[in-house]
């Protein structure tokens, strides 16, 4: 756990109080129906919870892809053999 100085804790508490004040002022400035709809959507989002974690790699990717710039060389096509005269 990180320890914070008293000044920083006070500053963070003041910021939180100010944000609540701004949020209340904003909510008071919009029509009641819009504020109620917004509050309903926020409650639904909180009830839904976080989205499931996305996979780390794209589908079809090899488990251990090569580093950029170290990709394997493509297979050599066997055409007519070169002869030195």
Q: CB-based burial of residue 60 (10 Å sphere; 0-12 exposed, 13-18 middle, 19+ buried)?
A: exposed
Determine the pLDDT at residue 84. Answer: 66
pLDDT in 10s for each residue of the chain, 85 residues: 779 999 999 999 999 999 999 999 998 999 999 999 999 999 999 999 998 988 777 777 777 767 888 888 888 877 776 776 6
Tokens 């976080």 correspond to 50
Determine the pLDDT at residue 56. Answer: 77
Q: Annotate 34-79 with DSSP letters as a single string.
A: HHHHHHHHHHHHHHH-PPPPPPSS-TT--SSPPPTT-PPPPPPP--
């Amino acid at each position: 756990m990180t320890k914070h100085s008293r000044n920083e804790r006070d500053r963070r508490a003041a910021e939180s109080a100010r944000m609540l004040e701004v949020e209340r002022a904003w909510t008071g400035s919009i029509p009641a129906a819009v504020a109620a709809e917004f509050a309903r959507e926020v409650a639904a989002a909180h009830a839904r919870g976080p989205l499931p974690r996305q996979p780390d790699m794209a589908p079809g990717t090899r488990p251990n892809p090569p580093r950029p710039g170290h990709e394997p060389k493509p297979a050599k096509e066997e055409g007519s053999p070169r002869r030195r005269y």
